[in-house]
Structure 1
Amino acid sequence: MDCKKIGNLIYQLRKEKNMTQKQIADEMNISDKAISKWERGQGCPDVSLLPELAYILGTSVDEILSGEINLNESVGGNMNKLKFYVCPQCNNLMTATGDATISCCGKKIEPLNAKKSEDEHTLNVEPVEDELFITSKHDMKKEHYISFLAYVRGDRVIIVKQYPEWNLEFRLRKRGHGRLYFYCTNDGLFYQTI
């Protein structure tokens, strides 16, 4: 841990938030002298204070410990580059159109790798008037089911949440070519072009 780098980052983030050392210290129930000490590189925050400090400064504990914030290059928000993240503990679904550091339930989550759909992991897509009727014979038991479907094309994403013990059936308005992603709780993320 480089206390100088950490101190500089704390100072930068505090200034961006237009906060004084006293305001941060009051929120954390510590002395403003402690904040001053950290910002001058004379010491580092105690590990027990890092989550609260990160929350107040609007950053992550990892970024405070590294002493720097890594900015992503602008990707223009192209939905075709969408990445899906699913928390293994709570099944929370998150997406990002660029590189992101995502964590849930206290753990860092890596993006899912989509595989081309195959045999049992293929959705039935039938045109019905101006819509697509999408179904599947996939198991929908509590321990093994399709958790969500996402239709992705260059300018939009439509996410449909699925629940165990329900039939997988829904209608999607025809919107041109795109990819249909779906997440099986046991086997991972799949896609098929529609």
Structure 2
Amino acid sequence: MNPYVTGQTIQMLREKRGITQKQLAEQLFISDKTVSKWETGKGLPDITLLEPLAKALHVSVPELISGTAVTNRNRTANMLKTQWYVCPLCGNVISAAGEGAFHCCGIALPPLVPEEPDESHTISVECMDGEYFVRMEHPMTKSHYLSFFAAVTSERVTLVKLYPEQEPETRLPARGRGWLYACCNRHGLFRIPLPKR
């Protein structure tokens, strides 16, 4: 990732939008010569212009800086295709119904790739009273803990955030077919199919 927006990126995004240097300059209240300087590498946009520039080019500021536009191809917002992003510094959990560009604590967050649970991360699920009682054997120390459990069906995501030294268990509503997720701060994201009720 570039440390700052490049002229090549500005030109590529501008041409993708089908606008001229002059049209972009008018939107930003600057001269077209300034845009030309940016695109030829003879200058850089002032930091105060990054947000208006990103808006004019129809991208986010992180996309502008990285030079990579993220396109959400998941137009139907199928919740079963939920992507998970977890900040390794503060533990913030972000779920999205498709691809996105997410940052937290100054870090670009990659989507977590779910895996089947291994022997040390076995998830047990029991159906009782219209809910799933979910548990995982886990040490739950301050440095090694489960971040969350989540049940995902085609229509909703139910997430329960967990914290160090808490019991590694929760109850989640039993609402149809889908996926059950558990996220360990050291070993990543685990997924199993939700059991039939």
Which residue pairs with 2:61 in the alignment? 60
Q: Quick check: 2:180–2:192 contact (8 Å CA) kept in 1?
A: yes
Which residue pairs with 1:187 in the alignment? 187
Q: Distance in 1 between matches of 2:186 and 2:76?
A: 33
Q: Distance in 2 between matches of 1:38 and 1:3?
A: 15
Kindly provide the amino acid, as one letter, of the partner of residue 106 in structure 1.
Answer: G
Residue-by-residue CA offset, 1:55-86 (whole Å, 9 max, x unaligned): 344422542674x8554334310111111111
Q: Quick check: 1:125–1:133 contact (8 Å CA) kept in 2?
A: yes
Kindly provide the amino acid, as one letter, of the partner of residue 176 in structure 2.
Answer: G
Residue-by-residue CA offset, 1:94-121 (whole Å, 9 max, x unaligned): 1222222222233322111111113221
Aligned: 1:153 with 2:159: no
Which residue pairs with 2:82 in the alignment? 82
Q: Distance in 2 between matches of 1:121 and 1:8?
A: 48
Q: Distance in 2 between matches of 1:21 and 1:86?
A: 35
Aligned pairs, how many? 174
Report the 3-state secondary structure (helix = DSSP H, G, I; strand = E; otherwise coil) of the residue aligned with 2:34.
Answer: helix
Runs of 4+ in 1 over 4 A off after TM superposition: 9-12
| 1:1-194 correspondence runs (5 A) | 1-2=7-8, 5=11, 8=14, 21-22=28-29, 32-33=30-31, 36-39=32-35, 41-43=36-38, 46=44, 49-50=46-47, 52-56=48-52, 57-58=54-55, 59-63=60-64, 66=67, 69=69, 71-194=71-194
Residue-by-residue CA offset, 1:7-41 (whole Å, 9 max, x unaligned): 947996xxxxxx8544xxxxxxxxx45xx4333x1
Q: Distance in 1 between matches of 2:132 and 2:191?
A: 16
Q: Distance in 1 between matches of 2:82 and 2:172?
A: 19
Report the 3-state secondary structure (helix = DSSP H, G, I; strand = E; otherwise coil) of the residue aligned with 2:167.
Answer: coil
TM-score normalised according to structure 2 size: 0.72
Q: Distance in 1 between matches of 2:65 and 2:92?
A: 25
C-alpha distance 74-192 of structure 1, shift in aligned 2 (>3 A): closer
CA apart distance, 1:159: 0.8
Kindly provide the amino acid, as one letter, of the partner of residue 49 in structure 2.
Answer: L
Kindly provide the amino acid, as one letter, of the partner of residue 42 in structure 1.
Answer: K
C-alpha distance 5-143 of structure 1, shift in aligned 2 (>3 A): same
Report the 3-state secondary structure (helix = DSSP H, G, I; strand = E; otherwise coil) of the residue aligned with 2:11.
Answer: helix
C-alpha distance 83-97 of structure 1, shift in aligned 2 (>3 A): same
Ranges in structure 2 where 5+ consecutive residues have no aligned partner: 1-6, 20-25
C-alpha distance 123-100 of structure 1, shift in aligned 2 (>3 A): same
Q: Distance in 1 between matches of 2:12 and 2:171?
A: 51
- Percent identical pairs in the alignment equals 31
Q: Distance in 2 between matches of 1:3 and 1:97?
A: 27
Ranges in structure 1 where 5+ consecutive residues have no aligned partner: 13-18, 23-31
